[in-house]
Amino acid sequence: MRHKPLREQVIVVTGASSGIGLATARMAAENGARVVLAARSGDVLARLAEEFGARAVAVTADVGDRAQVEAIADRAVATFGGFDTWVNVAGLTVYGPLREITQDDHERLIRTNFWGTVNGSLVAAEHLRRRGGALINVGSIASDLAFPFQGLYAASKHAVKGFTDTLRMELIAEGAPVSVTLVKPASVDTPLPNRARNYMDRQPTLPPPIYPPEEVANAILHAAVHPQRDIFVGGGGKLFVMGKEFAPGAYDELAPAIIALQKRAEPPRDPAGALHAPARAGEERGDPPTYVMRTSAYTRASLHPLASAGVAAGLAATAALLLGGLAGGRRRL
Examine residue 166 and state whether it is found in any structural domain, yes or no. Answer: yes
Examine residue 95 and state whether it is found in any structural domain, yes or no. Answer: yes
Query: 96: helix, coil or strand?
Result: coil
**pLDDT value of position 10:** 98
Give the domain range for residue 191. Answer: 6-328
Examine residue 235 and state whether it is found in any structural domain, yes or no. Answer: yes
Averaged pLDDT, 80-100: 98
pLDDT tens for 159-169 read: 999 999 999 99
Examine residue 49 and state whether it is found in any structural domain, yes or no. Answer: yes
The CATH number linked to 281 is 3.40.50.720
Examine residue 171 and state whether it is found in any structural domain, yes or no. Answer: yes
Q: Environment class of residue 267 by beta-carbon count within 10 Å: exposed (0-12), middle (13-18) or buried (19+)?
A: exposed
Cite the DSSP H helix spans in the chain: 19-30, 42-52, 66-80, 103-110, 116-131, 151-174, 213-225, 235-246, 248-252, 255-261, 297-302, 305-332
Examine residue 333 and state whether it is found in any structural domain, yes or no. Answer: no
Query: Mutual orientation of helices 151-174 and 116-131 as an angle, nearest 10°?
Result: 20
Q: How many domains does the chain have?
A: 1
Query: 35: helix, coil or strand?
Result: strand
Please say if 199 is a catalytic residue. Answer: no
pLDDT tens for 109-149 read: 999 999 999 999 999 999 999 999 999 999 999 999 999 99
Say which of 95, 153, 251, 298 is annotated catalytic: 153
Tell me what percent of the residues of the chain surpass a pLDDT of 70: 91
User: Residue 195 pLDDT > 90, yes or no?
Assistant: yes
pLDDT tens for 236-249 read: 999 999 999 999 99
Examine residue 186 and state whether it is found in any structural domain, yes or no. Answer: yes
Examine residue 77 and state whether it is found in any structural domain, yes or no. Answer: yes
Give the H or E element holding residue 34: strand 34-39
Averaged pLDDT, 23-45: 98
